[in-house]
């Protein structure tokens, strides 16, 4: 893999681990920790705990952007490193984790592997497109932002107990494919995470999800 390192003049004066001290990056890594927890519980079949991990990963992801925009004194290297870190974490949080959710709930039936693969491919393409071209001219995303995948799937999973597992597995798989298609579509969607009001609404939603799924764990 090759990258264009536009901040190379700053590298000799800073260690790799020095970027961890940046508060937005701490938030990003906290979200990665939540994603790891979610994956662990998806594999072990404790889905309520996995849903909590998935939504907290989104919450930390949105928080890091809000904090970054309000912090002063961050260098160009800080912003570039943070953007790359976000990109790498996003493919795990919003590409790999939803794919594992669908595979796990389908009891790792190989018939669902193509669905998981399409979700991963479209997720990687979606993130690469945004990393290359950014927002459109009217400051909107082209395609559905990939973090919405987790937000929507966590909500849909609340209804899992009302349906036969096989039937709901098919429903989850179809939902995953629909979300993947929207990720790479030409629709224009607003940048929700950039608005403090939306961040507050996500915080309320995160707490509601935590309480709802937490109650089932008691």
Domain with residue 42: its CATH number is: 1.20.120.1760
What pLDDT score does 80 carry? 86
Average pLDDT over residues 131-143: 85
Average pLDDT over residues 194-200: 83
Asked if residue 7 belongs to a domain, the reply is no
What pLDDT score does 1 carry? 46
For the entire predicted model, the pTM comes to 0.89
Quote the Cα angle for 20-21-22, to 5°: 90
Kindly tell me if the per-residue pLDDT of 192 is higher than 90: no
Asked if residue 15 belongs to a domain, the reply is no
pLDDT tens-place string over residues 47-96: 999 999 999 999 999 988 788 777 777 777 878 888 899 999 999 999 99
Give the separation between CA 175 and CA 169, rounded to whole angstroms.
10
What pLDDT score does 202 carry? 94
CA distances from 154 to 26, 124, 137, 205 (A): 24, 21, 31, 11
Quote the Cα angle for 145-26-147, to 5°: 10
Counting the structural domains of the chain, the total is: 1
Please, what is the end-to-end C-alpha distance for the chain in angstroms? Answer: 46
In degrees and rounded to multiples of 5, residue 195 shows phi and psi of: -105, 125
Asked if residue 122 belongs to a domain, the reply is yes
User: Which residues lie below 8 Å from residue 208, measured CB to CB, with a gap of 6+?
Assistant: none
Asked if residue 12 belongs to a domain, the reply is no
Domain region containing 44: 20-217
Mean pLDDT rounded to a whole number for the chain:
90
Asked if residue 10 belongs to a domain, the reply is no
Asked if residue 95 belongs to a domain, the reply is yes
Average pLDDT over residues 101-126: 97
Of the two residues 9 and 156, the one the predictor is more confident about is 156
Asked if residue 4 belongs to a domain, the reply is no
Give the separation between CA 104 and CA 212, rounded to whole angstroms.
21
Kindly tell me if the per-residue pLDDT of 23 is higher than 90: no
| Element of type H or E holding 188 | strand 188-190
In degrees and rounded to multiples of 5, residue 186 shows phi and psi of: -95, 10
Asked if residue 192 belongs to a domain, the reply is yes
């Amino acid at each position: 893999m090759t990258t264009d390192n536009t901040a190379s003049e700053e590298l000799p004066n800073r260690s790799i681990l020095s970027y961890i001290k940046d508060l937005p990056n701490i938030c990003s890594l906290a979200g990665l920790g939540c994603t790891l927890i979610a994956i662990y519980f998806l594999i072990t079949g404790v889905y309520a705990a996995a849903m909590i991990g998935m939504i907290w990963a989104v919450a930390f992801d949105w928080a890091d952007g809000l904090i970054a925009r309000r912090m002063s004194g961050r260098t160009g290297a800080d912003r570039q490193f943070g953007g790359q870190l976000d990109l790498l974490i996003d493919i795990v949080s919003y590409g790999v984790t939803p794919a594992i959710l669908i595979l796990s709930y389908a009891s790792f039936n190989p018939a669902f592997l193509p669905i998981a693969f399409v979700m991963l491919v479209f997720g990687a393409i979606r993130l690469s497109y945004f990393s290359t071209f950014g927002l459109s001219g009217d400051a909107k995303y082209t395609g559905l932002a990939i973090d919405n995948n987790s937000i929507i799937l966590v909500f849909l999973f609340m209804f899992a107990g009302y349906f036969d597992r096989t039937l709901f597995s098919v429903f989850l798989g179809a939902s995953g494919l629909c979300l993947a298609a929207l990720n790479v579509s030409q629709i224009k969607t607003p940048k929700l995470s950039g608005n403090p009001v939306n961040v507050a609404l996500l915080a309320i939603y995160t707490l509601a999800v935590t309480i709802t799924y937490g109650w089932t764990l008691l």
